[in-house]
Amino acid sequence: MIFRQLFDRESSTYTYLLADPKTRRAALIDPVLENLERDLALVRELGLELTHVLETHVHADHVTAGGLLRQRTGAKTVVSERGGAECASRHVGDGDRVALGELEIEVRATPGHTNGCLSYVVRDGARTLAFTGDALLVRGCGRTDFQQGDSRTLYRSVRDQLYTLPDDTEVFPGHDYRGHTTTTIAEEKAHNPRLATKIGEAEFVRMMAELKLANPKLMDVAVPANLACGGAK
C-alpha cells in the first residue's frame, strides 16, 4: 500500500493518502480545503488516480476539500449515511467496503463524537491500520457535546468497534494537538486517560461532562459548509 500522513497546522487535522500500488487508485481521508493544491500535487507526483475522498465525520473545525476534489478529479465523496451530508456521491454504513483496486477499506460506524462518525480499517499484508477520526485520538477522544454527540455511544463505539481490532493495529487519528502522529490499540487500551480498559462507562461519561470546552472557532462556518461537501458541487 502507498500511504502518506499529511498535516494541517491551523486545525491540527491529519489527512491521509492511501493507494493501491498496482492500479494506482487512491483515496484521501479528511482533506482540508486550504491544502487542496498540496494534496493534488502529491497525487500527481506519485502517479496516482484519486478515485475517492472519505470523511470520518462532518467536521466543526475546518472546511473539507471534498467537493472541490470531486469537481477537479471526478473522485467520489464518501460520508456516513447518518452524517447529514446529502451532497455526497456515496453514503456508507457499518460493514460497507470501499475498493481501491485490490486495496479494500472497511467501514466501521463509530458514533459518539458526532452521530455520523466513521472509522476506516485497512489490512495491508500483516499490518492492520485504523483511521479513527475523532472517535479515538492518541491518549484522548473527541468531545461529545454537540452535533448529536453522546458519551455513552462513544464509549461503546470504541469498545465494540475499535478495541476488538488486533492489539497491534496502528491507529491514525483525525487530529493531534501535542505532536503525536500514531498509536496502537494496545497502547490506548493501557494508557488512554479517558478510554483505558480499566475505565468504566459511568466514569467516562462523568469525565466528558466535566470538560466544559468552548465551541470550535470555525464551527458556525465549517459545519454548514461540510454538510454541503465544502460548498462545491
Confirm whether 191 is a catalytic residue.
no
Tell me which of 59, 96, 160, 220 is the catalytic residue. Answer: 59
Does residue 59 carry a catalytic annotation?
yes
- Going by DSSP bridges, is the β-strand pair 118-124/127-133 parallel, antiparallel, or unpaired? antiparallel
* 175 among known catalytic residues: yes
Is there a catalytic annotation at residue 180?
no
From 20, 134, 150, 176, the catalytic residue: 134
Annotated catalytic residue: which of 8, 20, 30, 61? 61
Instruction: Spell 193-226 as b/e; 16+ CB within 10 A means b.
Output: ebbeeeeeeeebbeebeeeeeeebebeeebbebb
Look at phi and psi of residue 63 and say left if phi exceeds 0, alpha if psi is from -120 to 50, else beta: beta
The single residue of 20, 57, 150, 176 carrying the catalytic annotation is 57
Q: Give me the catalytic one of 39, 113, 150, 176.
A: 113
Look up residue 53 and give its three cell numbers: 475522498
How far, in Å, CA of 176 to CA of 12, rounded?
Answer: 6
Q: Is 91 noted as a catalytic residue in this protein? A: no
Catalytic: which of 20, 39, 150, 175?
Answer: 175
**Of 8, 62, 150, 176, which residue is the catalytic one?**
62
The residues annotated with a catalytic role in the active site are 57, 59, 61-62, 113, 134, 175
